[in-house]
Amino acid sequence: MNNTIIFFISLLIAFIGVIPPGMLNVFAAKISLNEGHNRSFMFSFGVCVVVAIQVYIGVVFAKYLNLHHEVTVILKRVAFVIFLLVSAYFFNTAKSSTLAIEHSLKSKQSRFFQGIFMSALNVFPIPFQAYVVTTLLSYGWMSLEATTIGTYVSGAVMGTFMALYVYILFFDTLKNTKIASPKNMNYCIGVITLVVAIATLINLLR
């Protein structure tokens, strides 16, 4: 299949995967509200760096992960514990302080690395992309040539950034409402990560 089509397929898949409310997109919106678009963009760039690596791993090991389901189970167990801890952290932060805006205490570089760290906590893109790529391979729509893999990874990164940008713009329109207050944003992230943890646990118990 033409690499241009592969790019847009990957972009669409990544966009759909990131657009539902999640820890990363809501946190990007929170940074934008508290510290401005530039800071949230640095965070988003950090997220996208990790996404590129995760998508690449998913592509390379697509067939392996599809044949060895125990690997996916292990990843889900680790993710369950991580999301529980992250949820507890944000609930505690929301209760303990109002999180005053920090314009000068953190550098742009710190938000970039924070994006890398938080994105690394989310291991779901690896099995998700492995499943998608395996499906594309089974239909003969994609090959594992270097140029095709590079195109697919690039599309996934662009789709992820577009989804984050949608959240940044959407929450900017709500910045003067109670919904966008730092405390409520922390509660929102805490609830989202808790729901993801519960969903992961249910999936593991099936």
Domain boundaries, the chain: 3-205
Mean pLDDT of the chain: 76
79-104 confidence digits (pLDDT tens): 677 777 777 876 776 666 544 444 43
**In the chain, what percentage of residues exceed pLDDT 70?**
72
> How many CB atoms lie under 10 A from the CB of residue 31?
24
The CA-based angle 185-189-194, given to 5 degrees, is: 145
Report how far residue 115's alpha carbon sits from residue 166's, in angstroms, rounded to the nearest whole number.
17
Quote the CA–CA distance of 46 and 40 in Å, as a whole number.
10
Q: How many helices (H) and strands (E) does the chain have?
A: 9, 0
Question: Beta-strand (E) ranges in 67-167?
Answer: none
What are the two backbone dihedrals, phi and then psi, of residue 97, each rounded to the nearest 5 degrees?
-155, 170
Question: CA 126 to CA 114: how far, in whole Å?
Answer: 20
Torsion 86-91-93-98 (CA) sign: positive
Are the C-beta atoms of 28 and 185 separated by less than 8 Å? no
Phi, psi of 175, deg, nearest 5: -65, -20
Q: pLDDT at position 177, please? A: 56
The segment with the largest mean pLDDT, out of 76-85, 101-110, 112-121, 183-192, is: 112-121
| pLDDT above 80: residue 105 | no
pTM attached to this predicted model:
0.66
pLDDT reported for residue 189:
67
pLDDT digits (tens, 9 = 90+) for 24-34: 887 888 888 77
Distance CA 134, CA 143 (A): 10
Distance CA 31, CA 40 (A): 5
